[in-house]
Amino acid sequence: MSNKYKEYQSKMREIADINHAAAVLGWDQEVNLPEKANQIRSQQLATVAGIAHEKFTSDEMGVLLEDLKEDENLDAKEKRNIKLTKKSYDRNTKLPKSFVQEMSGAISESYFAWHKAKDENNFAHYAPKLERLIEFKKKQISYLGVEDHPYDTLLDEYEPEAKTADLEVLFKEVKENLVPFVKQISEAEQVYDAFMFKHFDKDQQWKYSLDLLADIGYDFKAGRQDVSAHPFTTSFGSQDVRVTTRISEENLNEMIWSCIHEGGHALYEQGLPVEEYGLPSGSAISLGIHESQSRLWENNVGRSLPFWKAHYSKIQNAFPEQLKSVDAEGFYKAMNKVEPSLIRTAADELTYHFHVMIRFEIEKAIIEEKVKVKDLPELWNSKYKDYLNVDVPNDSEGVLQDIHWSHGSFGYFPTYSLGSFYAVQFYNQAKKEIPGLEGKIEAGDCSAMLNWLRENIHQYGQQYSADELCMKITGEKLNFKHFMDYAKDKYSGIYGL
């Protein structure tokens, strides 16, 4: 390894340290922060963001990357690291430090305004901050440049190389295939799930949630769980990956799916190679691939009958009165109930993609300047009526339900659907390669699944693009047919179609 590459590693790890220090502040902001600390925390986050940006975009770093780009002695992984870092460097040097700091402050202000607006069911309180943040995102696009569509520029931050045009094709497939299948399900006899909405003690749920994370392989020596308004995963390196969950005493689904979903994200982060800390080779490929990990554990494993045949007695013992007359198969059917709903995070795995499609269409309209911020609640409500045939009763359960826009995360939502579709394709391949996989899961052993993911996905960091990784693992690029075949097979059985 050359001295210049060692210098590159040192610089990247120093920048990672700074970014992870900011992540600690962000985690604390959502888990522990007292109300009066809002303003000073926004200032602190903006300051740290400015320091990291300045270090990464320094002339010294630019010269080092140019030198290493021409170094033929680097191995394939090292060359890939330099290529990806150079792309990120070129992107970031287009953004002035003052802009990065100002946008960081705008994001913090937007977040606090969103939180208050959601609590008070008052979109008007949030609208001015959101409008200001959207102007920053448009300015960001102008700094970074546009190739095919301005939304592509935002997508690239979360799903590198993804294109708006490709997503339009994908969601067209969703409309043509998934929408009529969901309609077919809606005409069948509905499964019974009333027992999921009895009273479930908060402390007992919390205790069980820790067991649930352990059951899928989450390492509590390299992380912890807390409670937050919106469940999330944050990583300060593969040895410290934290998750949060949301608990409702009147809805057992909230805790179960928050834990397994965020646990899936955390397993990916805990599986990244610690020796590659701070480098692309020690980081997740994309949010679509990240989401594939959470969705695989949540849907393909966690919502499967084999998983609950193994673990149902444990949850039944935790809540004996509520679940005394329910068997594992009844519990399995209840958790897979398909029914249009208001809240994305509580949606079933089929109608979930209608929620994502709505957000994609609205974000695209915002960036194309076809809708004004003040009109977002009306647009949101009309799309929910069109796609899901539900009436939105208020802004808190409507346009204010997600945290993402308050973080400036435009271009993020499509990765949720991409991840679900990747998940099925990966899980199908795992079943081919692991003899008796579902039998192992039914016996309470998820380690074979986790080890397969470690070997085929986690260990590589960003050595492959999402398309390349999918091709390497499954022999083809992302193919929506895998998801539709899975959905038809599973839900035809549940609904007797």
Residues carrying an active site annotation: 262
- Starting at the earlier edge strand, list the strands of the sheet with 241-245: 225-227, 241-245, 233-235
Question: How would you class 1 by CB atoms within 10 Å of its CB: exposed for 0-12, middle for 13-18, buried for 19 or more?
Answer: exposed
Supply angle C-alpha 189, 488, 425, rounded to 5.
Answer: 145
Tokens of 212: 């649930």
Instruction: For residues 230 and 219, give the distance between their C-alpha atoms in angstroms, rounded to a whole number.
Output: 22
Which two structure tokens, joined as six digits, stand for 162? 């993804």
Q: Which residue has the tokens 């083809």?
A: 476
Classify 350 as helix, strand or coil: coil
HSE-CB of 277 using CA atoms within 13 angstroms: 18
Contact 198, 253 (CB under 8 A): no
3-state secondary structure of 243: strand
Among the listed residues 317, 225, 213, 223, the one whose alpha carbon sits nearest the alpha carbon of residue 270 = 223
Question: In this structure, what token pair is assigned to residue 233?
Answer: 């995963």
* Sole residue written with tokens 């606090």: 112
Q: For residue 299, give the 3-state DSSP assignment.
A: helix
Residue pointed to by tokens 């060359």: 79
Taking alpha carbons only, the member of 317, 308, 412 closest to residue 362 is 412
Beta-carbon-side half-sphere exposure of residue 286 (alpha carbons within 13 Å)? 27
| Other CB atoms within 10 Å distance of the CB of residue 381 | 18
Q: Which two tokens stand for residue 160?
A: 């590198």
Per-residue exposure over 313-345, b if at least 16 CB sit within 10 Å of its own CB, e if not: eebbebbeebbeebebebbbbbbbbbbbbbebb
H-type helices in 328-373, by residue range?
A: 328-335, 352-367
Pairing state between β 225-227 and 233-235: unpaired
User: Residue 404 gets which letter from DSSP?
Assistant: G
Amino acid at 392: V
d(CA 462, CA 279): 9
User: For the chain, how are helix, strand and coil distributed in percent, rounded to 5?
Assistant: 70, 5, 25
What secondary structure letter does DSSP report for 184? H
